[in-house]
Amino acid sequence: MRANKQDVAPIEPIQAAPLVLLAALRDLIQQGRQRALRAVDMVQVQTCWEIGRHIVQFEQGGEVRAAYGKKLLPRLAEQLTLEFGKGFDERNLRHMRAFFQAFPIWNSLRTELSWTHYRHLLRVDSADARQWYVNEAADQNWSARALDRQIGTLYYERLVLSADKAALANEAAAKVASLAPTPREFVRDPVMLEFLGLAGAGKLLESNLEQALMDKLQGFLLELGRGFAFVARQQRISTETKDFYIDLVFYNYLLKCFVLIDLKTEPLTHQDIGQMDMYVRMYDDLRRGDGDNPTVGVLLCEHKDQSVVRYSVLHESEQLFASKYRLILPSEEELRLEIEREREAIAASASLAQPGSGKPQA
């Protein structure tokens, strides 16, 4: 028995030591990533502020401003986008100008906040409320998503009017804590990747399965030979405060309309359907030309049991167009079978790629 105790005793510290070391290394890596993100955030924020300052000072140049007028930002955006990418388009330049106007004193900014935080803060009209959100977001370590939620629910205004501020603060803290982290929380915002000049930022946020399925669907639609012309992948469309990414965008020259395709790897929800309807409406407002028919949205849902396809077309009263697009677009059954076929092929390929999954040797 004594021999057995002697044999067992040395094992405990050997097993425990790697756990302690692993915990320490995990903390170091997480802290390092956070420092790297904060460093990039700070540089991006300062660069955006400086760009806004230069634009405002140029616009205040009297005769110089009059010579360029409303064409200044479009001209700047065209050249900067050509040289540095879409992170410097006209919409973003307007954000940068508004950023400097809202925060004209650099030292009043909190370097803990990212450019995405400040873009959300531009929605706040009151200078007092805006500064309060700045301090709270920095002190409470709110993510950009959490800040967006607090602004959207008028947290500051409700807090000022509330008779029980402690209860309201506890409720708000619980709501922030309930926000599940997403892959975009790590990279903060694809706008950061655009700022760094990294192409294809949206693709970094896709799951392997979703990426593979979109590759196949893109080829599948082009092979149908029904008038599809590829336009873009992960195309960004934006409101004043939010960016959205559409998985695939085609133009169909038979229908003379844009076709938006969004793939969900989970069962469809009402929110997904509402989001596609918003995409269609936004795309009609932002990209539809005078000779184009209404934009069509195709929402695909891929999951284990079944595939669901939903079509969305604006202006349902246009019956002639609605009937025509059903003849030219792939049927729901075609898309469902293609999704299921490719999902099975991808799963089989992944299984074969695993060690020990090959055929046994003779």
pLDDT in tens, 66-77: 556 678 888 898
CA–CA separation, 131 and 126 (whole Å): 9
The pLDDT value given to residue 230: 84
- Same domain? For 261 and 159 the reply is no
- Same domain? For 225 and 305 the reply is yes
CA–CA separation, 269 and 337 (whole Å): 21
157 vs 33, more confident:
157
Query: Do the Cβ atoms of 247 and 233 come closer than 8 Å?
Result: yes
Helix (H) or strand (E) holding 352, with range, is helix 332-353
Write the CATH number for 338. Answer: 3.40.1350
Q: What is the mean pLDDT of residues 275-289?
A: 87
The residue type found at 75 is R
pLDDT digits (tens, 9 = 90+) for 297-328: 888 775 544 556 677 765 454 544 555 566 67
pLDDT digits (tens, 9 = 90+) for 164-176: 778 878 877 777 7
Position 349 confidence tier, pLDDT thresholds 50, 70, 90: low
Dihedral over Cα of 162, 166, 167, 171: its sign = positive
Listed residues 134, 157, 192: the one ending a domain: 192
- Same domain? For 217 and 187 the reply is no
The pLDDT value given to residue 92: 87
Q: What is the mean pLDDT of residues 53-64?
A: 79
In a domain, 142, yes or no: yes
- Same domain? For 57 and 124 the reply is yes
The pLDDT value given to residue 140: 87
What percentage of the chain carries pLDDT values higher than 70? Answer: 67
- pTM given for the model: 0.55
- Same domain? For 95 and 178 the reply is yes
Listed residues 192, 215, 235: the one ending a domain: 192
pLDDT digits (tens, 9 = 90+) for 42-51: 888 999 999 9
* CA distance readout (Å), 191 to 39, 119, 178, 179, 235: 15, 11, 25, 21, 13
* 103: Cα within 13 Å, side-chain hemisphere: 26
In a domain, 136, yes or no: yes
- Same domain? For 155 and 275 the reply is no
The residue type found at 175 is K
In a domain, 103, yes or no: yes
pLDDT digits (tens, 9 = 90+) for 142-188: 888 888 888 888 888 888 887 777 887 887 777 777 665 544 444 44
| pLDDT higher than threshold 80 for residue 195 | no
- Same domain? For 122 and 215 the reply is no
The pLDDT value given to residue 187: 45
The rounded Cα 60 to chain-centroid distance in angstroms is 35
- Of 185, 211, 205, 203, which is closest to residue 302 (Cα–Cα)? 211
CB atoms within 10 A of CB 90: 16
- Of 129, 190, 120, which is closest to residue 157 (Cα–Cα)? 129
3 vs 110, more confident:
110
Dihedral over Cα of 14, 17, 22, 25: its sign = negative
Helix-, strand-, coil-residue percentages of the chain, each rounded to 5: 65, 10, 25
In a domain, 4, yes or no: no
The pLDDT value given to residue 53: 93
Q: Which structural domain, as residue segments, surrounds residue 35?
A: 15-192
In a domain, 163, yes or no: yes
- Same domain? For 147 and 270 the reply is no
The number of domains in the chain is: 2
- Same domain? For 49 and 112 the reply is yes
In a domain, 246, yes or no: yes
- Same domain? For 217 and 170 the reply is no
Query: Do the Cβ atoms of 217 and 261 come closer than 8 Å?
Result: yes
Listed residues 192, 215, 250: the one ending a domain: 192
Position 64 confidence tier, pLDDT thresholds 50, 70, 90: low
- Same domain? For 109 and 230 the reply is no
- Same domain? For 172 and 29 the reply is yes
